[in-house]
A and B are shown apart, each in its own frame.
Chain A
Amino acid sequence: MIAYLQNIAVLFCINAILALTLNFIMGYAGIFSLAHAIFFGVGAYATAYIAMHASDSLLLCMAASAAISAVLSMALALPALRVRGEYFVAASLGLQVIGVTIFSEWKSITGGLGGMIGIPRPKLWGYTFNDDTAFLGLALVVLGVVVAIIALLVRGSFGRSLMAIRDSESAAQTYGKHVNAIKTLSVAVAAGLAGVAGSLYAFYITFINVESFMLETSILLMAMVIIGGTGTLFGPIVGAALLMSLPAALTYLPFLPPTELGSIQQIIYGLAMVLLMMFRPGGLVGGRSKEKSA
């Protein structure tokens, strides 16, 4: 039972990091990306490859995953960021499709559809995180660091610049904001930190394949952000906690047929999204509605 809860807690930490980083661009910069799972995947594959072929050092693998995800995000986002709103959503969907194809076809690096098996647990200053409790501690620390980084960014001038761009790109430009540079940097930060989540995931699961980085993951992350509250610091964490605990909670309801749990879960997600958009569009944590108050 404890192992089961620990497992959920570690996966919550990873998903919370992903939701936080997606919210960084979606909630603060107004960049709606459907390709976040790709940067998560890039981080996971980078760590898996380095850990299996070079070094299982936690810091090295995490730093490399963050750097590769960030650099790739810039290469991919630079042309895409020239388009706005729904056009960027479509462009990011294209990125997601390209990414999944590369993950499943570049066999020499990603292992193809079969994925990569036997990723070692990470080492930090000679200590190996073989124990799941220790790994949970590590995941919580990484989550805390990511929260601190994002809080520092969004509560300062960088965050105000992002929100200004979100609310009116032309006005932001008119008042001296280098919109493309700020947007590219924000995508790189979000992708880099998503890469850190990917690194944690690869080290924890010790097996990765393309299934974990599909469009469904990107949509689930978006749901976490929207349900928790876009443009809020703790909303994505609440969203991640809810959506990660829901499947586990449903299994404890004896009157639900176990074979239908997956479908019921999907219906609950969908219903929650519809009801939230109707009655609390700012999300569970978001006190600010998107429209003018009555």
Chain B
Amino acid sequence: MTTSTPSQEILLQIRDLNKSFGGLHAINNVTMDLPAGVITTLVGPNGAGKTTLFNLITGHLTPTSGTVHWLGKSLKGVEPWQVARMGIARTFQDLRLYSQMTVEENIMTVMERSSWLWQGGGAAATQRVNEILDETQLTEKRHERAVDLAYAERKFLSLARIMASQAKLWLLDEPASGLDPRSFERFVTLLRAYAKRGITICIIEHNLDIVIKLSDRVAFLDQGKLLAQGSSEDILKDPHLAAIYFGERA
């Protein structure tokens, strides 16, 4: 089922993963891999279990059964902050910016893993913050609070934080929803650039433009089950999956 070639290192390995909330089987026996340097998009109708899958990977939820391995190490019982330090970062659908902090502080604090008074690499850290501000075109807003930004700027700040995280795997939850066409193009360009630099990206997205323009592979989830994995052309052309996606299930 996987489209990864034998030469590609498997960063994240999910095996027989299940998550139930009472009688609801939110994730149902999902098995999939995230190979290094590949952009994977998770698609599926609302309630398919896409965000739940992210929460299980990042330790925000504990699986009912099954395993998640990161670079060969089991993530069972690993706290979200430890998962982050191992190299997995995520964004949230509702962004969860540090709303009362400035744009610059939002980025800086992500770069500071520990909370010691004195952090190493002061000048290098400042330079990296400047680079990220430049890449996300937020330089002029650096001293503004996150809560005072326009919607598209908030989206880019969310992206700026994950850029600052130095994570190898980015899990992006609907990162492009609500972006105007110009911002959308900037966003796609940025993601492509980071993918080229070796970042592995997994995106939850409803916007089919993103799926087509960015994805190396697509995984289709419905009612907690992984129904298919493959190239975006194969998945999006499948009439059965399209019917499920657009709510035309028999």
Q: A residues within 8 Å of B by Cβ?
A: 152-153, 156-158, 160-161, 163-164, 166-168, 170-179, 182, 185, 231, 288, 290-293
B148 in the interface (beta carbon within 8 A): yes
- Nearest-neighbor residue (CB-CB) of B147 within chain A: A292
Residue among A166, A175, A288 with most chain B CB within 10 A: A175
A182 to B112, CA, bound (A): 13
Q: List 25 A-B contacts (CB under 8 A).
A: A157-B109, A157-B112, A157-B115, A158-B116, A160-B105, A160-B112, A163-B105, A164-B101, A167-B98, A167-B101, A168-B96, A171-B96, A174-B58, A174-B81, A174-B89, A174-B90, A174-B92, A176-B81, A176-B110, A178-B79, A178-B115, A182-B115, A288-B100, A290-B100, A293-B148
Residue B7 CB within 8 A of the other chain: no
Interface string of B110-141 (1 = CB under 8 A from A): 10111111110000000000000000000000
Given contacts A173-B79, A175-B161, contact A158 B98 (CB under 8 A): no
A to B contact number (C-beta, < 8 Å): 96
> A-side binding surface: helix, strand, loop or mixed?
helix
A178 vs B115: C-alpha distance when bound (angstroms): 9
Contacts of A166 in B (CB 8 A): 100
Question: Are the CB atoms of A176 and B117 closer together than 8 Å?
Answer: no
Among B97, B112, B116, B146: residue with most chain A CB under 10 A:
B112
- The residue among B60, B79, B110 with the most chain A CB atoms within 10 A of its own CB is B110
**B112: chain A residues within 8 A (beta carbon):** 157, 160-161
Complex contacts, A157 vs chain B, CB 8 Å: 108-109, 112, 114-117, 119
| Chain A residue with Cβ nearest B85 | A176
Cβ contact of A171, chosen from B79, B97, B113, B147, cutoff 8 A: B97
Contacts of B148 in A (CB 8 A): 292-293
Residues of B close to A179: CB separation below 8 A = 81
Given A174-B89, A288-B145, A158:B115 Cβ within 8 A: yes
Given A157-B115, A158-B115, A174-B89, A164–B145 Cβ distance below 8 Å?
no
Q: Does B64 contact A (CB under 8 A)?
A: no
Known contacts A173-B81, A293-B148; decide if A163 and B113 are in contact (CB<8 Å).
no
Other-chain residue from A163, A167, A177, A292 in contact with B81 (beta carbon distance below 8 A): A177
Residues A167 and B100 in contact, CB atoms below 8 Å apart: yes
Given contacts A157-B112, A157-B119, contact A171 B84 (CB under 8 A): no
* A-side contacts of B165, CB under 8 Å: 175-176
Q: Which residue of A lies closest to B165 (CB)?
A: A175
Candidate in B79, B89, B98, B118 with the most chain A CB atoms within 10 angstroms: B98
B80 interface residue per 8 A CB criterion = yes
Contacts of A161 in B (CB 8 A): 109, 112, 115
Please indicate the chain B residues that have their CB under 8 angstroms from the CB of A158 in the complex: 115-117
- B108 CB contacts on chain A under 8 angstroms: 157, 160
Contact present for A160 and B101 (CB under 8 Å):
yes
B99 CB–A CB distance under 8 Å: yes
Complexed CA–CA distance, A160 and B113 (Å):
11
Kindly report which residue of chain B lies nearest to residue A163, judged by CB atoms.
B101
Task: Report how far A122 CA is from B118 CA in the complex, Å.
Answer: 35
Cβ of A167 and Cβ of B80 under 8 Å apart? no
A163 touching B80, Cβ below 8 Å: no
Given contacts A161-B109, A171-B97, A292-B148, contact A156 B81 (CB under 8 A): no
